[in-house]
């Protein structure tokens, strides 16, 4: 039992060190947990929520658009969209390649789409493709387990039922730009579609509605487990337009192989019933995100189909402008209805020869005759009497040189020239000879077809300025234009009746039982030394044809302005469409009213 | 002296009830209760963690804990000195089992370290560590000097190196590395001169550099690299690290509630019933739960030190410290790994993680520690 005692004291002396080491290590690790859980806890809680919650937008259906009779112009149709969640793929390039393979699309093109979402949150799903076919949907669904980053969602696609027929009125949608997103203060997100032109643009705010959101709890494989929250979408408001689809169809059919514009509006309130610009385009191409090649095809098509000639094109008014001159001359008492001028086909003013369109001359004409037969000589002399300043003043009274304020984007203001303009813009003096050209609607004077329609409305309604518009239901009685003598308008109106109904230049617009008044116009595109029939010239050199009119003459309800680019004579090319529109209007509305 | 020698024999021969109660008072209850509580918390957490798994691991873990308790009773009842006597054959058996695994073992999680025994699987490396601790303690106990000689240190290292190398060959690097703290604990306690210690550390650095370049597999290097720059590989090891940190952090102070942890219930957390069970606990019980478990481990380990302080002989002290180093380092490494302080490797958390042979090894170690304590008054 008395063995040598073991050497234990050294061991026992060292043991307390171990005790300290244990406590130190566990306290140190405990403090790390304190830091991660308590100090940084909120941050990690947020990351956990981000892990498990997936937000998906519930798209608000865009408002539908109807014509004035309630006929549907724009519809929403369901479409399958392919979404890519970038946070759920380890190899973005491979995912895009996979999608490109199924969609048979260019890989670069899809990468470009992705690139647009650079500024968006990494968790925002990217709309990679729209309008998937059912077989494409099936292919993605089959591979859902291996490729959880893809999701198919049903979205709505805009369907323009009338296609090109209403393209310039309705416009189209386009993907929102980065700037729009930044300026929208959160209302717009990358990938949203917004109105880019036409009614879609001007009423975008109310048509669009407010998107909702669905939050679902997903597991680590992205499979939805339960709904966590939902905010329903507010559908966009439907919009009824002043447009009359049937009349629009007639006008569009007339312009099928013509270039130009037609507009019909109600002179009592400015409601636009017809708005046609030709050539047109199929807006349904824009409903999907457009491929580069398709876009180029539209942009490079002859006569620029994207241009809305009703509000965006400037033209010389031609003889239409004689209406303004006549009203000015009568109001300013520079002429009386009975004053006459002798026309022998040409005259010399300011040492320059000015020709009448009728080379053999009109003989002795008073104001009524000068308007009815569109004598240029009469108005050369009237223009000389009035001078450019008063011509400009009356032009502005009729709304020329300024935007009409139509509820439509991209309107141009036209140009009413005067001395000040010449000095400011042209940096040169106004030549008196130019006043003579302006007197028959040539020279630097430029108008849009819409301005001409507004001008005719003022003539028709006895001197009131209407506000042309497309949205039905904000009618205000048009205010009178101060400075236009109503008596002068009566005289001009009678002459305009004669243009159509008394063997005048507008005879082609005559409608039995529905008295129409109007004025033709023919605009020379190139200066002609001799009289050549426009039809013998190449298309680009042919005259433009105008016809501006209203009816019925006593209580005007409709203004029709037709403009045919390089169409030749207004009497032959533009007036017939006006007649078709009046006939249609007469048959439906006028008939229905007199029957009741 | 005769009275005390009577205590050498087993409990069954004790004549009086009162004596037995007095002897029960000799058991270090704090340590045992801590072990029990930890295992219970582990059970509850495993149940929550496996709610999204095809089977509930709670009943299986319950069986394993029962087996562990049985092993605990057996080891506690046997005199550790008897076990020490047989430490060489025990060591030899565990080595042969490790060898067997190399040839007929089955693979799981990249490591070929499992031995199929009927329907259950056994991981011999866990038991081999306890066996190795026994032999090293026995060997170092004979070095009855103030400091170990270099030769003695190297001999102890060799005893450890053989099973550690076999475990490393099973591609279970973390498991192999766990031999090191055990050896270090015992050798340092037995006494190492400063200059020898410095030389050893330098040698270890050179050896680990060599391992990095020649012996480590790509995925192992990758894990270390990922740890050093997380985010470089978000879908693999970095993903685990990130998800674990999110789970822990989102628990905040009081946790999301039992069975309410989104990270584990929605399967974002990998290995959530085994190596990352502590992350589940941290998420569902918050810092309060973490602190509770930490306190229980501290109670266990400090009680263990107390056992060593009053142990009967050198061998007992060394054995207890070796086992405490082994368990303690598991606790430190696993909890540090879950909170993202150290690279991810397959180190489970004692008493809490799911795993048969590991929980068995935990209870055997507990049995050895408490057995040594129980026999502290027995004279030589």
B379: pLDDT strictly greater than 70: no
Question: What pLDDT sits at residue A156?
Answer: 81
Distances (CA, A) of A317 to A242, A329, A416, A530, B209: 26, 18, 11, 22, 92
Alpha carbons within 13 A on the beta-carbon side of A291: 10
d(CA B314, CA B139): 10
Chain B hits for A8, Cβ within 8 Å: 313-314, 317
Mean pLDDT calculated for residue range B160-189: 88
- Residue among A3, A22, A45 minimizing CB distance to B301: A22
Which residues on chain B are in Cβ contact (under 8 Å) with A32? 336, 339, 341
As a whole number of angstroms, the distance between CA A265 and CA A272 comes to: 4
CB contact under 8 A, B145 and A7: yes
Sign of CA dihedral A430, A435, A438, A443: negative
The tens digit of pLDDT for each residue in A25-43 reads 999 999 999 999 999 988 8
Q: Nearest chain B Cα to A38, which residue?
A: B252
Each domain of chain A, given as residue ranges in start order, spans: 53-240, 245-595
Alpha-carbon distance of A96 to B249, in angstroms, equals 34
Q: Is A154 or A533 the better-scoring residue by pLDDT? A: A154
- Cβ <8 Å between A48 and B250: yes
Which positions ≥6 away from A504 have C-beta within 8 Å?
Answer: A371, A372, A373, A374, A498
Summarize the confidence of residues A392-416 as an average pLDDT.
90
Residue B116 pLDDT > 80: no
pLDDT per residue over B86-98, tens digit each? 999 999 999 999 8
* E strand or H helix that includes residue A294: helix A292-299
Report the distance separating Cα B116 and Cα B104, nearest Å: 9
The stretches of chain B forming alpha helices (DSSP H) are 2-6, 17-24, 29-49, 58-77, 80-85, 87-104, 124-141, 150-169, 173-177, 179-190, 194-210, 218-228, 237-250, 262-265, 277-309, 314-338, 356-374
Burial of A324 (0-12, 13-18, 19+ CB in 10 A): buried
Instruction: Of A2-16, A432-446, A531-545, give the lowest mean pLDDT range.
Output: A531-545
Spell out which residues of chain A touch residue B308, defining contact as CB-CB under 8 Å: 15
Distance from A47 to chain B by nearest Cα, in Å?
7
Range with lowest mean pLDDT among A306-310, A433-437, A523-527, A572-576: A523-527
A218 pLDDT band (50/70/90 cuts)? Answer: confident
Q: Do A51 and B146 make contact, defined as CB atoms within 8 angstroms? A: no
Tell me whether residues A221 and B267 touch, CB distance under 8 A. yes
Answer yes or no: is pLDDT of B118 > 80. no
Q: Among partner residues B248, B282, B380, which is closest to A3 by beta-carbon distance?
A: B380
Residue B2, domain member (yes or no): no
What percentage of chain A exceeds 70 in pLDDT? 93
> What's the pLDDT at A137?
86
- How far the first Cα of chain A sits from its last, in Å, is 137
Asked if the Cβ–Cβ distance from B294 to A25 is below 8 Å, we say: no
pLDDT at A242 over 60: yes
The domain A53-240: what is its CATH number?
3.90.1310.10
Assigned token pair, A374: 């569109």
Burial B119-157 (b: 16+ CB within 10 A, else e): eebbbbbbbbbbbbbbbbbbbbbebeeeebeeebbeebb
- Determine the Cα–Cα distance for residues A440 and A382; give it in Å rounded to an integer: 10
Tell me how far apart the alpha carbons of residues B337 and B345 are, in angstroms, rounded to a whole number.
8
What 3-state DSSP class applies to B116? strand
pLDDT at res. B232: 45
In this prediction, residue A592 carries a pLDDT of 67
Residues 293-322 of B with CB under 8 A from A: 294, 297-298, 301-302, 305, 308-309, 313-314, 317-318, 321
Q: How many structural domains compose chain B?
A: 1
B14 pLDDT more than 60 = no
Residue B4 domain flag? no
For residue B237, tell me if it sits in a domain: yes
In this complex, the residue of B287, B290, B302 whose CB is nearest that of residue A19 is B302
State whether the Cα torsion A362-A364-A370-A373 is positive or negative: negative
- In order, the DSSP letters of B133-191 are HHHHHHHHHT--SSS--HHHHHHHHHHHHHHHHHHHHTT-HHHHHTHHHHHHHHHHHH-
Chain B contact for A142, CB < 8 A? no
Structure confidence by residue, pLDDT tens digits, B26-67 = 778 899 999 999 999 999 999 988 877 777 888 888 998 999
At which residue do the structure tokens 């939050």 appear? A215
Instruction: Output the DSSP codes for A131-147.
Output: S--HHHHHHHHHTTTT-
* The two three-digit tokens of residue B238, written as one number: 């970095």
Interface test with B, best of A9, A10, A36 (most B CBs within 10 A): A36
A217 CB neighbours in chain B (<8 A) are 262, 266
Q: At what angle do helices A376-397 and A322-331 cross, to 10 degrees?
A: 80
Distance (Å, rounded) from C-alpha A322 to C-alpha A394?
Answer: 12
Residue A234 CA, chain-centre distance (Å), reads 25
Distance between CA A243 and CA B239 in Å, rounded? 60
- Asked if A36 and B185 come within 8 Å (Cβ–Cβ), the reply is no
Look up residue A521 and give its two tokens.
């116009």
Characterize the bridge pairing of strands A239-240 and A65-66.
parallel
CA distance linking residue B323 with residue B74, whole number of Å: 17
Mutation site for A-interface testing, chosen from B137, B147, B190, B266 by largest number of A Cβ within 10 Å: B266
Q: Which long-range contacts (CB under 8 A, 24 or more apart) does B80-83 make?
A: B80/B315, B80/B316, B80/B319, B80/B368, B80/B371, B80/B372, B80/B375, B81/B315, B81/B375, B83/B134, B83/B368
Taking CA–CA distances from A225, the nearest residue in chain B reads B266
Kindly list the residues from chain A whose CB atom is less than 8 angstroms away from the CB atom of residue B339: 29, 32-33, 36
d(CA B42, CA B337): 17
DSSP assignment of B61-104, as one string?
A: HHHHHHHHHHHHHHHHHS-HHHHHHTHHHHHHHHHHHHHHHHHH
Query: What are the chain A neighbours of B268 within 8 Å (beta carbons)?
Result: 51-52, 219-220
| Of B245, B266, B309, Cβ closest to residue A12 | B309
Considering CB atoms only, which of B52, B243, B305 is closest to A18? Answer: B305
**pLDDT > 60? residue A142:** yes
Query: What average pLDDT does the structure give for chain A?
Result: 85
Interface probe for A, chosen from B147, B188, B246 (most Cβ of A below 10 Å), is: B246
Could you give the percent of chain B with pLDDT greater than 70? Answer: 84
Q: Is A424 near chain B, with CB under 8 Å?
A: no
Confidence (pLDDT) at B296: 96
Residue A478 has pLDDT above 50, yes or no: yes
Average pLDDT, integer, range B314-323: 93
The answer to whether A506 and A518 are in contact (CB under 8 A) is yes
Pairing of strands A341-343, A363-365: antiparallel
pLDDT band at B112 (very low <50, low <70, confident <90, very high): low
Residue contact A29–B291, C-beta within 8 A: no
Rg over CA atoms, chain A: 36
Q: Which residues of B touch A40 (CB under 8 A)?
A: 249
**How far is the C-alpha of A268 from the C-alpha of A457, rounded, in Å?**
8
Across the interface, of A3, A22, A37, the residue whose CB is closest to B328 is A22
pLDDT in tens, A192-212: 888 888 899 989 888 988 888
Whole-number Å distance between alpha carbons of A174 and A160: 14
- Domain A245-595: give its CATH superfamily: DD-peptidase/beta-lactamase superfamily (3.40.710.10)
Q: Which residues in chain B are closer than 8 Å to A45, comparing Cβ atoms?
A: 249-250, 252
> Alpha-carbon distance A445 to A316, whole Å?
6
Q: Identify the pLDDT of residue B200.
A: 86
Sorted by sequence, the CB contacts under 8 Å of residue A109 that are 6+ apart come out as: A291, A292
Sign of CA dihedral B124, B129, B130, B131: positive
Q: What is the ipTM of this complex?
A: 0.86
Q: Which of A25, A43, A219 sits opposite B249 (nearest CB)?
A: A43
C-alpha angle A471-A477-A483 in degrees, rounded to nearest 5:
120
Mean pLDDT of A557-563: 94
User: Which residues lie closer than 8 Å to A66 by C-beta, 6 or more apart?
Assistant: A72, A73, A238, A239, A240, A241
The pTM is what? 0.64
- Chain A to chain B Cβ contacts (< 8 Å): 147
Chain B CB within 8 Å of residue A31 CB: no
Closest-CA residue to A326 (of A265, A421, A389, A390): A390
The pLDDT score that the predictor gives to residue B117 is 61
Q: What is the pLDDT of residues A523-533, one digit of tens each?
A: 887 655 455 55
Q: What is the pLDDT of residues A47-88, one digit of tens each?
A: 888 777 777 777 888 999 999 989 999 998 888 888 888 877
When pLDDT is cut at 50, 70 and 90, the band that residue A536 belongs to is: low
The answer to whether residue B15 sits within a structural domain is no
B90 is a domain residue: yes
Instruction: Please tell me the distance from the alpha carbon of residue B50 to that of residue B42, in angstroms, as a whole number.
Output: 12
Q: Cα-flanking dihedrals φ and ψ of residue B313, to 5°? A: -140, 175
Interchain pair B308, A14: CB under 8 A: no
Going by C-alpha positions, the residue among A87, A368, A69 that lies closest to residue A240 is A69
Q: What is the mean pLDDT of residues A572-591?
A: 85
Mean pLDDT of all residues in A314-329: 92
Instruction: Tell how many helices (H) and how many strands (E) occur in chain A.
Output: 23, 19
Nearest CA in chain A to B231: A90
pLDDT at A572: 80
The pLDDT of residue B131 is 94
Kindly give, in sequence order, each residue whose CB lies less than 8 Å from that of residue B142, ignoring residues fewer than 6 positions away.
none
Query: Which residue of chain A comes nearest to B146, CA vs CA?
Result: A10
**A30: which chain B residues are within 8 Å (Cβ-Cβ)?**
290-291, 294
Q: Tell me which chain A residue has its CA closest to the CA of residue B338.
A: A33
Question: What pLDDT, on a 0 to 100 scale, did the predictor assign at position A503?
Answer: 82
Which among A82, A469, A6 is positioned nearest to B380, based on CA atoms?
A6
For residue B345, is pLDDT > 70?
Answer: yes
Could you list the residue range(s) of the whole structural domain that residue B148 is in?
29-374
Distance CA B251, CA B95 (A): 42
Write down the pLDDT at residue A93: 84
Secondary structure (H, E, C), A354-392: EECCCCCCCEEECHHHHHHCCCHHHHHHHHHHHHHHHHH
Question: Which has the closest alpha carbon to B354: B269, B285, B275, B290?
Answer: B275
Tell me the sheet residues that pair with A174.
A194
Burial pattern A540-551, b for ≥16 Cβ within 10 A else e, equals: eebbbbbbbbbb
CB within 8 Å: A18 and B245 = no
CB contact under 8 A, A219 and B266: yes
The pLDDT value given to residue A527: 57
Mutate to test the interface with B, among A24, A34, A47, A48 (most CBs of B within 10 A): A48
Give the pLDDT confidence score for residue A424 in this predicted structure. 92
Summarize the confidence of residues B277-293 as an average pLDDT.
94
**B286 touches A at CB < 8 Å:** yes
Contact (CB<8Å) A41/B234: no
Q: Nearest CB to A44: which of B145, B250, B298? A: B250
Instruction: Please tell me the distance in Å from A44's CA to the nearest CA on chain B.
Output: 5
- The alpha carbon of residue A18 is apart from the nearest alpha carbon of chain B, in Å, by 8
For residue A3, the number of C-alpha atoms closer than 13 Å in the C-beta half-sphere is 7
Question: Touching check for A71 and chain B: CB below 8 Å?
Answer: no
How far A475 CA sits from the closest chain B CA (Å)?
59
In angstroms, the separation between the Cα of residue B144 and the nearest Cα of chain A is 6
Reading the block at residue B292, the tokens are 């509770």
The closest of A308, A431, A439, A309 to A374, measured between CA atoms, is A439
| Closest of B303, B342, B130 to residue A22, by C-alpha | B303
Looking at CA atoms only, how far is residue B253 from chain A in angstroms?
Answer: 6
Q: What local confidence, expressed as pLDDT, does residue B2 receive?
A: 42
pLDDT value at position A3?
Answer: 47
Contacts 24+ apart (CB under 8 A), A184-193: A189/A57, A189/A120, A189/A124, A190/A116, A190/A117, A190/A119, A190/A120, A190/A124, A191/A116, A191/A117, A191/A120, A191/A124, A191/A126, A191/A127, A193/A158
Residues 351-380 of B with CB under 8 A from A: 379-380
Helix (H) or strand (E) holding A329: helix A322-331
CB A102 within 8 A of CB A147: no
């Amino acid at each position: 039992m008395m063995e040598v005692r073991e050497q234990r004291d050294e061991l026992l002396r060292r043991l307390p060190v171990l005790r300290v080491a244990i406590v130190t290590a566990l306290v140190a690790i405990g403090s790390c947990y304190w830091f991660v859980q308590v100090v940084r806890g909120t941050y990690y809680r947020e990351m956990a929520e981000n892990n498990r919650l997936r937000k998906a937008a519930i798209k608000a259906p865009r408002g539908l658009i109807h014509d004035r009779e309630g006929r549907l112009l724009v519809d929403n149709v369901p479409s399958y969209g392919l979404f890519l969640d970038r946070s759920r793929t380890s190899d973005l390039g491979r995912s895009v390649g996979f999608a490109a393979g199924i969609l048979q699309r260019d890989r670069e093109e899809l990468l470009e789409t992705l690139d647009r979402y650079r500024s968006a949150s990494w968790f925002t799903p990217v709309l990679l493709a729209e309008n998937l076919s059912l077989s494409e949907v099936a292919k993605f669904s089959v591979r859902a387990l291996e490729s959880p980053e893809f999701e198919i969602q049903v979205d709505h696609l805009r369907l323009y039922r009338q296609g090109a027929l209403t393209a310039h009125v309705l416009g189209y949608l386009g993907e929102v730009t980065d700037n729009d997103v930044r300026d929208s203060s959160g209302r717009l997100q990358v990938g949203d579609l917004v109105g880019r032109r036409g009614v879609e643009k001007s009423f975008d705010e109310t048509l669009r509605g407010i998107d909702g959101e669905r939050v679902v709890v997903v597991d680590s494989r992205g499979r939805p487990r339960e709904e966590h929250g939902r905010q329903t979408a507010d559908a966009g408001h439907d919009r009824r337009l002043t447009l009359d689809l049937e009349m629009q169809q007639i006008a569009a059919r007339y312009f099928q192989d013509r270039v130009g514009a037609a507009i019909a509006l109600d002179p009592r309130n400015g409601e636009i019933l017809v708005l046609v610009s030709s050539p047109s385009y199929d807006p349904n191409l824009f409903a999907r995100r457009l491929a580069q090649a398709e876009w180029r095809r539209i942009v490079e098509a002859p006569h620029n189909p994207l241009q809305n000639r009703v509000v965006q094109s400037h033209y010389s008014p031609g003889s239409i402008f004689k209406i303004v001159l006549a009203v000015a001359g009568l109001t300013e008492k520079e002429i009386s209805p009975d004053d006459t001028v002798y026309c022998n086909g040409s005259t010399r003013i300011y040492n320059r020869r000015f020709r009448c369109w009728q080379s053999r001359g009109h003989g002795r004409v008073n104001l009524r005759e000068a308007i009815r037969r569109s004598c240029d000589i009469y108005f050369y002399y009237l223009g000389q009497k009035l001078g450019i300043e008063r011509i400009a003043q009356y032009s502005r009274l009729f709304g020329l040189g300024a935007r009409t304020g139509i509820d439509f984007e991209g309107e141009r203001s036209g140009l009413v020239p005067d001395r000040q303009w010449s000095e400011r813009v042209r940096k040169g003096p106004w030549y008196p000879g130019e006043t003579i050209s302006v007197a028959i609607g040539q020279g630097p004077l430029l108008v849009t077809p819409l301005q001409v329609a507004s001008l005719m409305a003022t003539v028709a309604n006895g001197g009131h300025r209407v506000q042309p518009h497309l949205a039905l239901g904000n009618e205000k009685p048009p205010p009178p234009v101060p400075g236009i003598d109503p008596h002068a308008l009566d005289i001009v109106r009678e002459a305009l009746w004669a243009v159509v109904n008394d063997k005048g230049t507008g005879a082609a617009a005559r409608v039995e039982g529905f008295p129409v008044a109007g004025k033709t116009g023919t605009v020379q595109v190139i200066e002609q030394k001799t009289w050549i029939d426009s039809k013998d010239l190449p298309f680009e050199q042919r005259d433009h044809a105008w016809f501006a009119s209203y009816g019925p003459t006593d209580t005007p309800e409709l203004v029709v302005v037709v403009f045919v680019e390089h169409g030749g004579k207004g009497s032959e090319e533009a007036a017939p469409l006006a007649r078709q529109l009046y006939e249609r209007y007469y048959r439906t509305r006028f008939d229905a009213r007199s029957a009741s | 002296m005769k009275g005390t020698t009577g205590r050498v024999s087993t409990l069954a021969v004790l004549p009086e009830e009162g004596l037995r109660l007095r002897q029960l008072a000799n058991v270090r209850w704090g340590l045992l209760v801590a072990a029990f509580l930890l295992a219970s918390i582990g059970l509850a957490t495993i149940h929550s963690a496996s709610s999204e798994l095809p089977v509930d691991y709670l009943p299986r873990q319950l069986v394993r804990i029962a087996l562990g308790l049985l092993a605990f009773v057996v080891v506690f009842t046997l005199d550790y000195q008897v076990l020490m006597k047989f430490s060489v054959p025990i060591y030899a058996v565990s080595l042969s089992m490790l060898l067997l695994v190399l040839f007929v073992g089955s693979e799981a999680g990249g490591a070929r370290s499992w031995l199929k025994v009927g329907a259950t699987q056994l991981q011999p490396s866990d038991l081999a560590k306890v066996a190795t601790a026994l032999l090293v303690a026995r060997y170092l106990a004979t070095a009855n000097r103030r400091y170990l000689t270099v030769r003695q240190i190297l001999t102890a290292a060799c005893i450890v190196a053989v099973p550690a190398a076999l475990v490393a060959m099973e591609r279970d690097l973390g498991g192999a590395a766990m031999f090191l703290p055990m050896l270090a604990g015992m050798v340092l306690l037995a006494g190492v001169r400063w200059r020898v210690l410095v030389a050893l550390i330098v040698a270890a650095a050179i050896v680990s550099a060599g391992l990095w370049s020649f012996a480590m597999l790509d995925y192992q290097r990758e894990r270390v690299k990922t740890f050093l720059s997380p985010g470089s590989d978000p879908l693999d090891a970095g993903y685990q690290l990130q998800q674990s940190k999110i789970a822990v952090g989102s628990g905040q102070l009081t946790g999301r509630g039992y069975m309410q942890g989104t990270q584990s219930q929605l399967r974002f957390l990998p290995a959530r019933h085994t190596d990352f069970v502590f992350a589940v606990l941290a998420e569902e019980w918050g810092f309060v739960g973490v602190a509770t478990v930490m306190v229980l481990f501290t109670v266990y380990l400090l009680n263990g030190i107390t056992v060593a302080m009053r142990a009967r002989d050198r061998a007992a002290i060394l054995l207890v410290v070796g086992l405490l180093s082994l368990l303690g380092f598991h606790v430190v490494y696993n909890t540090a790994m879950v909170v993202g302080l150290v690279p991810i490797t397959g180190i489970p958390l004692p008493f809490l993680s799911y795993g048969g042979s590991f929980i068995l090894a935990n209870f055997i170690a507990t049995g050895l520690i408490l057995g040594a304590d129980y026999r502290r008054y027995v004279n030589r």
